Structure 1
Amino acid sequence: MIARSAEAKPFIKMGDPYFKIKDTLRSQGILAFSSNYALYGDMSERVMTTLERRLPMVEVYSIDEAFADLTGLPEPLDQLGYSLRADVLKITGIPVGVGIASTKTLAKLANAAAKRWQRQTGGVVDIRDPERRDKLLKAMPVAEVWGVGRRMNEHLQAMSIKTAWELSNADPALLRKRFSVVMEKTARELRGINCLNMEAEAPPKQEICSSRAFGQRVYDLAELQQAVASYTTRAAEKLRGQQSLCKVIQVGIRTGLFNPSEEHFSRHMQVHLPYPTDDTRILIQTAVQGLERIYRVGPAYAKASVMLLGLCRRDQYTPDLFAPSQAVTSDRLMQTMDKINQRWGKNTLKSARLPAMPEWGMQRQLLSPSYTTRLDQLWTVRA
């Protein structure tokens, strides 16, 4: 289980495998759906486009989150929040929370409050006023603060820091010494000191990962090679999308985690490329070579992963005069392949290693229709 609605959270733990909880879901009337990435991406774009129409600067933080700079916009800003929320709901049918504050960390906390107390707040919380800000900080557990994960929460609890208010009043120098500059900035942001700037464009990723669980157990090396080639292809597309090159590729395989009768096996390795590249063919060849070195006959493999590391910007890379250079024809081929796939659909042009209907593919029997991305699955409305 990778995502839960608020209504489902009391009955399901994050990460629970479906086969273990399907009876609980049925008894509680909870519906489960397989991941539909095309639908999610399209709906996310619609939400962000709605915001960008009315706001001067929007930073898309993730598929379901965005920051906006409201500087200079007419007051009252909470009314703007209600209006934006209504627009998004009307255009996409998605209810959103709006948090308004002087820093990103406080805005995230206000957003969490807007969703937690939706009936009382109408889905909008403005904590620019210091008294309202401090009241919320005292009411919110420190685990709700942006960047405080499970382990960090345990460390902070051991320091008797249990609320966002207590974290905001902690010694920044001590937080930096015990943890990192990130936690120091978090505490300062909770005090209203801006430490995180708005990003007009998302910075390029420092690593790119592509990983999926198999629909059924895989034993054969040839099938693992197909899976690794498929994941590498997707990672290479993302790499070219952010105009980066890859210096190191990491490939990993593992067995399942929940079946005590299966042998447990997990291994990964990193392979350094002779020169940075974004060529899908070279990346696949390198990843498969790494796979062959870690593969072991016998285990029932449940998952494979490919990670691109040591990334550098294409326009900031200076080729080594004495190293083999990436041919111009390679760049042209990749550009042509990407244009064809963008115009005619994913995998219209692909490596011969990738099968049309892999037996190891994800099980998606509970897939919801692609209401907005496929003409044959448009929502039918009857009068």
Structure 2
Amino acid sequence: MSKQPVFALIDCNSFYASCERVFRPDLAKVPIVVLSNNDGCVIARSYDAKPFIKMGEPYFQIKHKLKQHGIVPFSSNYALYGDMSERVMTVIESMVPAVEIYSIDEAFADLTGIDGLDALGRNIRAQVLRVTGIPVGVGIATTKTLAKLANHTAKRLQSQTGGVVNITDPAKRAWVLRNTDVAEVWGVGRKMKLHLDALGIKTAMDLAKADPWALRKKFSIVIEKTARELAGTSCLELDEPDPPKQEICCSRMFGKRLTELPPIKEALATYMMRASEKLRAQGSLCKKVRVCIRTGMFNPEEAKYANGVVVDLPYPTDDVRLLTKAAVDAVDHIYRPGFKYNKAEVMLLNLCRPGEYTDDLFTVSQPAQATRVMRVLDQINGRWGKGTLRSASVPMNPDWGMRREMMSQSFTTRLDQLWSVACK
């Protein structure tokens, strides 16, 4: 007889804000918000900032509120957050048999057949905090949906639970289900809550007891599986690694409007550098490149223009030099003077794995030397940090870059910004 599956969801608490606090211990008890690209709107809040600031509020509208409540704003520092996420996931992977990284700040773990689940949950939490400085909540249950619910309870009742909740016991599971609004269930959105309310389904327990076949007929198989999972029947397994992407896109808004062609070409070269890293990371080659530029579309006082072009490459490649040349040459055909451009995009198309494309005897293929150069490039940047080596057309600190006036240092990814401690 097979053992009952057991899952854990390990979720970082207010992840972006927690990353900022790791290297700013003086902000341990100070509320924090993190802003989107170009310091646009709030995308993350520490727990103590949530009563005062809503998600998505534009920064320029809430400056007075931040000051009034002593809330410290940060520009988004994705290099820091990405690296800290990798460190958190590495710790988790070292402590459990199998992991599905669900997002930048949460992962499912397979704990089937493991004894001492509560102790393991507390150990994971303590080890992640000790190694990375990031606090996490751990929810343990017999299905992924219940593990999500247990994790939510662990955070909601932090002082009572210590950040770890195990509801593999039926009595504890029933208590959590009875005391959780159906809106808090994974996969139940605002619109679905209204439909469920109309059926008298107001708590997670109500949904667990509902007829799954009736839910499937009235709504979808997704809600049916959610109800079954809440009732203790596992319908969702740990996902296999994602297959290689068929398209790779890198798109950014400029920190200011651009009217001249040279800085636009610099931006395209920068975006291509990032896109080609993703391409090589999944072991693919690219056959076509699409380049787009556009102006802002919402200012009635600015003339509007958008255009794109697709370029065929001479052979499938992952060589950033060839890809960059194709992109910067292509923009000559779509650039028009007299417009204020605010965004550019590069997209790698017709991706394939080496050996998956068929050529005739005389077709040119990527030189072996280029493959070796790209391997060395990635090894150096992997060891010393992204951008240590880059294309000559990629500037170091462009004035068109994203506006991030309140960004913290890249403490873990740049040698010149390492954390320093002064001894007195």
With normalisation by structure 2, the TM-score equals 0.74
Q: Distance in 2 between matches of 1:284 and 1:375?
A: 27
3-state DSSP class of the match of 1:59? strand
Partner residue of 2:66 out of 12, 22, 25: 25
1:170 Cα deviation after fit: 6.0
CA distance in 2, matches of 1:112, 1:185: 19
Out of 221-230 and 183-192, give the one that drifted further: 183-192
Partner of 1:43: 84
Give the C-alpha shift of residue 232 in structure 1.
1.6
Q: CA deviation at 1:141?
A: 4.4
Q: Percent identity?
A: 55
Residues 126-149 of structure 1, C-alpha deviation per residue, up to 9 Å, x if partnerless?
22234433443454445544455x
1:83 to 123, 143, 153: 123
Check whether the contact 1:319–1:325 (CA below 8 A) recurs between aligned residues: no
> For residues 293 and 171 of structure 1, what CA distance do their matches in structure 2 show?
56
* Aligned AA (2:45): R
Instruction: Say if 2:369 is the partner of 1:321.
Output: no
- Cα distance change on mapping 1:288 and 1:178 into 2, 3 Å: farther
- The residue identity in structure 2 corresponding to 1:355 is P
State how 1:119-130 maps to structure 2 within 5 Å. Answer: 119-130=159-170
CA shift at 1:32, angstroms?
Answer: 1.1
Q: How does 1:161-200 map to 2 (within 5 A)?
A: 164-165=204-205, 168=208, 169=210, 171=212, 175=216, 185-199=225-239
Distance 1:269 1:183 in 2: 42
Higher alpha-carbon deviation: 129-138 or 114-123: 129-138
Contact 2:251 / 2:343 at 8 angstroms: preserved in 1? Answer: yes
Secondary structure of residue in 2 paired with 1:20 = helix
Give the one of 214, 227, 244 matched to 2:267. 227
Distance (Å, rounded) in 1 between the aligned partners of 2:174 and 2:314: 55
Q: Output the amino acid matched with 2:105.
A: D
Residue in structure 2 matched with residue 7 of structure 1 by the alignment: 48
Contact preservation (8 Å) 2:212, 2:228: no
Q: Given the superposition, is the C-alpha separation of residues 280 and 83 from structure 1 closer, same or farther in structure 2, using an over 3 Å criterion?
A: same
**Cα root mean square deviation, aligned:** 3.5
Q: Do the aligned partners of residues 372 and 234 (structure 1) sit closer, same or farther apart at CA in structure 2, a change above 3 Å counting?
A: closer
The letter of the residue matching 1:212 is: R
**Equivalent residue number for residue 209 of structure 1:** 249
Partners of 1:22 and 1:67 in 2: how far apart? 37
Q: What SS does the aligned partner of 2:135 have?
A: coil
Judged with a 3 Å threshold, the aligned counterparts in structure 2 of structure 1 residues 122 and 233 are, in CA distance, closer, same or farther, namely same
> Would you say 1:74 and 2:74 are equivalent positions?
no
Structure 1 residues 214 and 55: alpha-carbon distance in aligned structure 2, compared to 1, 3 A threshold: same
Kept in 2, the 8 Å contact 1:172–1:187? The answer is no
Gaps of 5+ in 1: none
Relative to structure 1, the CA distance from residue 298 to residue 186 in structure 2 (aligned partners, 3 Å threshold; closer, same or farther) is farther
For residues 236 and 277 of structure 2, the distance between their equivalents in structure 1, rounded to whole angstroms, comes to 29
**CA–CA distance in 1 between the matches of 2:45 and 2:180?**
21
CA distance in 2, matches of 1:24, 1:175: 45
* 1:97 aligned counterpart, secondary structure: strand
Distance 1:22 1:382 in 2: 35
> Does the C-alpha gap of structure 1 residues 294 and 98 become closer, same or farther in structure 2, counting only changes over 3 Å?
farther
For the Cα contact (< 8 Å) 2:290–2:310, is it kept in 1? yes
Cα distance change on mapping 1:381 and 1:355 into 2, 3 Å? closer
Q: Structure 1 residues 130, 334: closer, same or farther in 2, change over 3 A?
A: same
Instruction: Select the residue among 140, 153, 162 that pairs with 1:100.
Output: 140
Find out whether 1:365 has 2:402 as its counterpart: no
**Count of residues in Structure 1 that have an aligned counterpart in Structure 2:** 377
Which of 333, 340, 343 in structure 2 is aligned with 1:300? 340
User: What is residue 152 of structure 2 aligned with on the other side?
Assistant: 112
Question: 1:104, 1:196 within 8 Å by CA — same for their partners in 2?
Answer: yes
Specify the alignment match of 2:282 in structure 1: 242
TM-score normalized with structure 1 length: 0.81
Q: Is the 1:59–1:202 contact (alpha carbons within 8 Å) kept by the matching residues of 2?
A: no
Does structure 1 conserve the Cα–Cα contact (< 8 Å) formed by 2:212 and 2:225?
no
Q: Distance in 2 between matches of 1:162 and 1:284?
A: 55
Identify the residue that residue 381 of structure 2 maps to in structure 1.
341
Please state if 1:279 is matched with 2:319.
yes
Distance 1:165 1:269 in 2: 54
Q: Match of 1:349, SS?
A: coil
Partners of 1:269 and 1:352 in 2: CA distance: 24
Alignment of 1:154 with 2:194, yes or no, is: no
TM superposition shift of 1:288: 4.0
Q: Secondary structure at the match of 1:33?
A: strand
Cα drift, residue 28 of structure 1: 1.6
CA distance in 2, matches of 1:358, 1:172: 57
Structure 1 equivalent of residue 419 of structure 2: 378
